[in-house]
Amino acid sequence: MRHEDAIGPNSPLYLQLRELIRGKIENGEYLPGTAIPSVGALAETYGIHRLSVRSAVSALIGEGLLKAVQGKGIFVVGDKLEQELESVGGFRQNMVAQGKKAETRVLVKTLRPAGAAYGALLGVPADTALYFIKQVCSVGGEPVSLEEIYLPAELVPNLDKVDLGVFSILEIQDFYGIIPVRGEQSLEITQLNPADARQLGVEPGRGVLRLQCVSYDGGGRAVELTRTYTRGDRCTFSVHFQREY
């Protein structure tokens, strides 16, 4: 919660400075992609200790508003990417819609049995063959999300021959006449194991958002299970709701 309304002349200086910097980012004085004044310069301007400046800055780095680049300075991060929970489209569609260039790098593409866990989630027996795909999605060269996708193999029989760098899962399903019409999504916070954290460029202990979606076709058959791990400092999810009468 941003308690800027509660921060006043009696608040600790680092909190006052944090809100001051936040304000300058919001009103455009500090522009996305540009460096803010150095810690030393801020300390001098406001006559406060460098340690206080550091804690103000590191809080904003933690929130994803600023980014420290070794040897270069502290930069303002642009608007967070927004993913619409409402669209049935995949990652690519969402990013393209916002005019950002997205790339996908496949880490794993393999056939495996569903096992108890994925069998239960997809409503198929444990020995059902699934395609398992694990990929990193990047925007502007920076990893944004890690996706784990499980697809019943009989629904997309030739998946191993398809270049996933060219076609999205949604397009491939389309080739086979599979149209997901309903998705059950849940959003949680979890932590990645060290190897996955490295792929996503986050510290292992840091929280990431985990969006799980089970998609169903018109006949109510589960056609896909996707778990998307997203960097909390690069993305927010948004949803629009309306009262039904």
Partner 1 sequence: MQEYRARPRERAEELLEGYLLEHRLKPGDRLPPERELSQLWGLSRSTLRTAIAHMEQDGLLYSREGSGNYIAAPKYNRDLRGLLSMSQAAAAQGLRVETRLLDIKRMECGKDLARRFGRMLGAPVYKVARLRCVDAAPLMLETAFIPAELAEGLEYKELERRSLFSVLEEDYGLVPEQGDEKVGITYATAGEAELMGVAEESPLFWIVSQTYDRQAGLIEYCRAVARPDRMRLTTVLERQGEEEDIHET
The Cα–Cα gap between 185 and 103 comes to 23
Name the region of 99 (left: φ>0; alpha: ψ -120 to 50; beta: rest).
left
| Nearer residue to partner 1 within complex by CB, 38 or 199 | 199
Residue type, 82: E
The Cα–Cα gap between 103 and 204 comes to 23
Write the binding mask 16 to 45 for partner 1: x where contact by CB under 8 A, - elsewhere. Answer: ----------x-------------------
4 binding partner 1? (CB under 8 A): yes
> Which of 41, 51, 96, 120 is the binder for partner 1 (CB under 8 A)?
120
| Nearer residue to partner 1 within complex by CB, 82 or 103 | 82
111 binding partner 1? (CB under 8 A): yes
The Cα–Cα gap between 209 and 7 comes to 29
| Nearer residue to partner 1 within complex by CB, 92 or 227 | 227
| Site stretch for partner 1 (CB under 8 A), options 30-38, 71-79, 163-171, 237-245 | 237-245
For 195-233, give one letter per residue: b (16+ CB within 10 A) or e. Answer: ebbebbebeeeeebbbbbbbbbbeeeebbbbbbbbbbbb
Site for partner 1 in 173-232 (CB under 8 A): 179-191, 193, 195, 206-209, 218, 232
3-state secondary structure of 226: strand
The Cα–Cα gap between 157 and 165 comes to 18
The tokens of 115 are what?
């096992």
238 binding partner 1? (CB under 8 A): yes
Phi, psi of 37 (to 5 degrees): -55, 155
158 binding partner 1? (CB under 8 A): no
> Which of 30, 91, 118, 229 is the binder for partner 1 (CB under 8 A)?
118
Site for partner 1 in 57-96 (CB under 8 A): 62-63, 80, 82, 85-88
Partners of residue 151 on adjacent β-strands: 131
The contact set with partner 1 (CB under 8 A) reads 1-5, 26, 62-63, 80, 82, 85-88, 108-112, 115-121, 126, 132, 160, 179-191, 193, 195, 206-209, 218, 232-233, 235-243
